[in-house]
Structure 1
């Protein structure tokens, strides 16, 4: 992996490796941009190879920059990916030590970085971080469910553009990944009367959801790519749609809660296939908005609905794909605000 080339191509400011042997802390902290304000860094804890953790931190931090900019927040983008300690974190004292070690390591970066929870990390974990540093967004409750509801509202706005109506009753939706965000999305879609097919790498999660809601079809994660559907909703851990899988998709819209489900090559393949792609940084921002502001979950989700509606309106007016319009809108805000302190 050519790390500096990767950083340069994405425009990153910094990548810091954090290590504390007694607690088992090994983490990659990426800061993509602080132009709009301190970089919000979602903290993830997953068993990953080192290179995948580095790539994940770089990709996620870029996504956070675009998400904050598009949502009108005065924050930049960061990401902190923790490698799972060899001893695990089942022991509550070990978990406390891990996250307090993270807080102590991040303390010198407090003016530039703000940590908040993400996949595998709880509000209680961030509370441990906060004991060692002021560099946290605070303890937020159930941001995954807020995000899931925001994805649902954003999907309705995107469906109006891609499917001709924002009603999702009878619409065929394939959900890849039914963790906290995917499960919440499925609940709202099921309530509206969408026809759901779900899959998860942990098949028991998909089966449990089908048993609870009823009327859902369950497939393997690989077979889901071949199912005829109107909307394909990736809600996994990232890059779940490989470029080679795009020709298999039988949908008209990709809209889900997952960060960077497609590579740039994958985005080009989706465009070539005539599939509308509503990017992650536009549609999964409700949790971040609620955590970073005083808005209620409902207000944060409506902010997502409004943002997606604005993107699709511009896309229709200009005849350009929504994912390119969304990126340009985010980059334009960064450019404009970044130039405020410069002379004429």
Structure 2
């Protein structure tokens, strides 16, 4: 089997396999194999020095079967059309598993935000919203933060959308700061969701959290929140890496100190005796958490992983061949469409609060997140045991079945299979 680095191809094969296994109409696969639309925009940015540069932006809506599109906006130098389409497809599956009233969407700009000033970043964010404004809205497609975007960027985008529409429409975007209609707990939601999944998996595998160790790849918002939350629960974080450095301590790292260091310095570089980030795969640990970008666990790196659990905090961190190796080695993989779904779940809570002009306390948000995420994990776990397949296959099984049922109800396909 080829270690395919294009996630869309493997994703389509997984969907088609489940459609055939469920004996659904072939039309289900035909509807799900391509996005409803993917627009490409060219963004002209005047730099602070007066020069002009052009950047490419994308917005893909894969499905509106269960509701308006939902998905983040990422700023990264490697963003491309195929990546955005694949991410929007994963979002469709993710919202289906969680039983949320959304379809899947994703967007991004091909840019290294570290090369832009704050003023340039704001101008780029506003121009992107100007260009995609016709296809977004609270009942059409609802953006949110993703890689290298945050509440500040969402605030700029919200303001630009208000100017274009001439009125306040807070539900058009989620991940906003609470002062302008955002939800409490949204910033930490993805990381908290990852931890909820890990702790549920530990229960099923008879692992004691306080006798377990974790290694985390990626120390941005999701990775750092995941690390800090696990640290609070007594789990030993023995390694953490980002794009610049790897830090390790078999006795456990001081995560709060690391978080403060990264906030002050922007990276783990220079913290303690940092090492090559690629050496993370060689670290002895019970739980390995990829929390960076796609295609990190591959045919080359998967055999190095010694963990009992791989918790996919990133989207698409494992290639097809990497996944095959993990399964052969008996690793319990919590798939991305389940593991990192806490963010979209609390985004849904934010959208609901905006729609009802309500504001929930952080305690309420976190309690509901834990209840709903635990329920989703247990449903996937039970399906895994029922069909005797991997957690990833069970997650796809549940997601595709619900999508197929919805197509019948909406009259998109014939009920006879």
TM-score range, shorter chain: 0.7 to 0.9
Q: Which residue of 1 aligns with 2:38?
A: 15
Conserved 8 A contact 1:286-1:303? no
Q: Is 1:137 matched with 2:180?
A: no
Distance 1:15 1:4 in 2: 14
Conserved 8 A contact 2:241-2:280? no
Report how far residue 3 of structure 1 moved. Answer: 12
Q: Give the alignment partner of residue 158 of structure 1, picking from 197, 201, 211.
A: 201
Q: Which residue of 1 aligns with 2:312?
A: 256
Report how far residue 218 of structure 1 moved. Answer: 6.8
Aligned residues: 338
Q: Give the alignment partner of residue 188 of structure 1, picking from 226, 229, 239.
A: 229
Conserved 8 A contact 2:246-2:275? no
Find the residue that maps to 1:33 and give its secondary structure.
coil
TM-score, with length taken from structure 2: 0.72
Distance 1:47 1:108 in 2: 25
Of 5-14 and 112-121, the range deviating more from structure 2: 5-14
Distance 1:89 1:82 in 2: 13
Q: Is 1:297 matched with 2:324?
A: no
Distance 2:44 2:399 in 1: 39
Conserved 8 A contact 2:43-2:57? no
Conserved 8 A contact 2:188-2:225? yes
TM-score, with length taken from structure 1: 0.86
Distance 1:214 1:128 in 2: 31
Q: Which residue of 1 aligns with 2:361?
A: none
Structure 2: which 5+ residue stretches go unaligned? 14-32, 47-53, 162-168, 177-181, 259-271, 354-363
Find the residue that maps to 1:244 and give its secondary structure.
coil
CA offsets 1:116-145 (integer angstroms, 9 cap, x no match): 111211223223222343583242366341
Find the residue that maps to 1:222 and give its secondary structure.
helix
Distance 2:273 2:407 in 1: 48
Find the residue that maps to 2:71 and give its secondary structure.
strand
Report how far residue 214 of structure 1 moved. Answer: 7.2
Q: Give the alignment partner of residue 56 of structure 1, picking from 83, 88, 91.
A: 83
CA offsets 1:141-185 (integer angstroms, 9 cap, x no match): 663411111111111112223x224x4111121111121111111
Q: Which residue of 1 aligns with 2:29?
A: none
Find the residue that maps to 1:306 and give its secondary structure.
helix
Q: Which residue of 1 aligns with 2:268?
A: none
Conserved 8 A contact 1:7-1:58? no
Distance 1:132 1:91 in 2: 16
Conserved 8 A contact 1:78-1:113? yes
Find the residue that maps to 1:159 and give its secondary structure.
helix
**CA-atom RMSD, angstroms?**
3.2
In our comparison, the structure showing a higher alpha carbon Rg is: 2
Structure 1: which 5+ residue stretches go unaligned? none
Q: Is 1:100 matched with 2:100?
A: no
Q: Give the alignment partner of residue 215 of structure 2, picking from 167, 174, 178.
A: 174
Of 146-155 and 267-276, the range deviating more from structure 2: 267-276
Conserved 8 A contact 1:153-1:302? no
Distance 1:244 1:87 in 2: 30
Q: Give the alignment partner of residue 147 of structure 1, picking from 148, 165, 190.
A: 190
Q: 1:42 to 1:199 in 2, by over 3 A?
A: same
Q: 1:91 to 1:144 in 2, by over 3 A?
A: closer
Distance 1:282 1:2 in 2: 21
